Amino acid sequence: MRKLWLKKNEDRRIRAGHLWVFSNEVDTQKSPLTDFAPGEEATLCDTRGAPLGSVCLNPASLICARLHARQADAPLDAALLRQRLSQALDLRRRLFPDPWYRLCHGEGDFLPGLVIDRYGDHCTLQISTAGMESRKELIAQCLDDLIAPASLLFDNDLAMRGLEGLSRETQSRGELPDRLEVPENGCRFFAPCATGQKTGWFYDQRVNRRELARYARDADVLDIFCYAGGFGVTAAAAGAKSVTFLDASPQALALARENAAVNAPALACRDAVETVCGDAFHQLNELYEEGRRFSLISLDPPAFIKRRKDAAQGLAAYRKINALTMRLLTPGGVLASSSCSHHLPAEALRGCVAQAASRRGLHARLLFAGGQGPDHPVHAAMPETAYLKCFIAQVG
């Protein structure tokens, strides 16, 4: 392997355990980035030539290299991929009795750029780096050896692939199911296979959905940005009195209604399931003006901060959506406020909840502070991998 040299003092973060190398940290006099091909392996060295590990490069990306091993001259080959995927699989089998989970979570499983969600005999993959893209066949072979899935969907229509110079595309192998069936927290959900959001289902909120359901008995529930109804349906199955789903997608709302009918047929029979289609900011105002109030609300918006430079604008959006939501809570009501923006610190989201309550002359007491589930492990040296925050608070 050739060497990728770092500038002086740029090795500190890597020595502390971080896996990313940024292009401005590279000594391009000793190792011009343009000399490397996308996906090429190299040994990463400090300014004295001491090896720091092995990386896969992409000279066209701001994150120009990602570590896959702490040893020098260690190829990201079939043996290493199989070892890492086997370790990831072992962890999930210890966590879950049935094969519905995130099987590989990128840096959290020491495989940067690779996400795999498992739905029984079906796997959906997302590849976001040139290094993993060039090893797609090896990854598929490793999965065949480890779990022999009936089908694979490479759902690579990702904006971040553009940053790596990769095409946005979707490919499949085997016979794909028309849609996914997901058992979770005692419920049974249906979700789109190739046309849904992300990889089809948001496993990362599994624990938080279960926690919110503890407050669901006899509650009037509002599930904002509901997608397939994960929070609202789990609450309905736990004894909610009514559920209102809010989303901008008619397809998502139809799916949420179907999932509610499957898991809480009594609510569906008495017309206690409602859907509201439209922009959440607008619809929350409309619901308030109509005098609607709810005793249990889930607020799970998309990432309002996709880039660090958007942090101020995104924080303002989180403050606004939490304030609009808080107005709809009954006295003593419970709010679950989430954010999947890794650029938004947990304390900032907690502050959004506290501010929204105080501006109404109320207090919010935190009942639960959660994050992504254990099948989405956080790399201890990479705080940016702890992207999901969820605060459950009672307001009164």
- Give 92's contacts (C-beta < 8 A, 6+ positions apart): 99, 101, 102, 103, 118, 375
> Structure pTM?
0.94
In this model, does residue 194 exceed pLDDT 80? no
Average pLDDT over residues 92-101: 98
Distances (CA, A) of 323 to 306, 351, 352, 355, 395: 21, 11, 8, 8, 12
Beta 242-247 vs 273-277: how paired, if at all? parallel
- pLDDT value at position 287? 99
Average pLDDT over residues 304-317: 92
Q: How confident is the model at residue 268 (pLDDT cuts 50, 70, 90)?
A: confident
- pLDDT value at position 7? 98
Q: What is the pLDDT of residues 120-151, one digit of tens each?
A: 999 999 999 999 999 999 999 999 999 999 99
Q: Which CATH number fits domain 3-69: 3.30.870.10, 2.30.130.10, 3.30.565.10, 3.40.50.1000?
A: 2.30.130.10
Fold exhibited by the domain 180-395: Rossmann fold (3.40.50)
Q: How confident is the model at residue 291 (pLDDT cuts 50, 70, 90)?
A: very high
- pLDDT value at position 307? 85
Among 40-54, 152-166, 179-193, name the one with the lowest average pLDDT: 152-166
Give the residue with greater pLDDT, 168 vs 249: 249
CATH of domain 78-177: 3.30.750.80
Among 24-38, 82-96, 127-141, 148-162, name the one with the lowest average pLDDT: 148-162
Whether 3-69 shares its CATH topology with 78-177 is answered: no
- pLDDT value at position 83? 98
- pLDDT value at position 32? 97
Q: How confident is the model at residue 306 (pLDDT cuts 50, 70, 90)?
A: confident
In this model, does residue 196 exceed pLDDT 60? no
- pLDDT value at position 199? 66
Q: How far apart are CA 347 and CA 349, in angstroms?
A: 5
Among 95-104, 194-203, 242-251, name the one with the lowest average pLDDT: 194-203
Of the listed 226, 340, 352, 390, which one is catalytic? 340
In this model, does residue 82 exceed pLDDT 70? yes
Is 340 catalytic? The answer is yes
In this model, does residue 195 exceed pLDDT 70? no
Q: How confident is the model at residue 162 (pLDDT cuts 50, 70, 90)?
A: confident
Average pLDDT over residues 245-272: 93
Which sequence spans correspond to the domains of the chain? Answer: 3-69, 78-177, 180-395
Q: Helix crossing, 230-237 with 250-263: angle to 10°?
A: 20
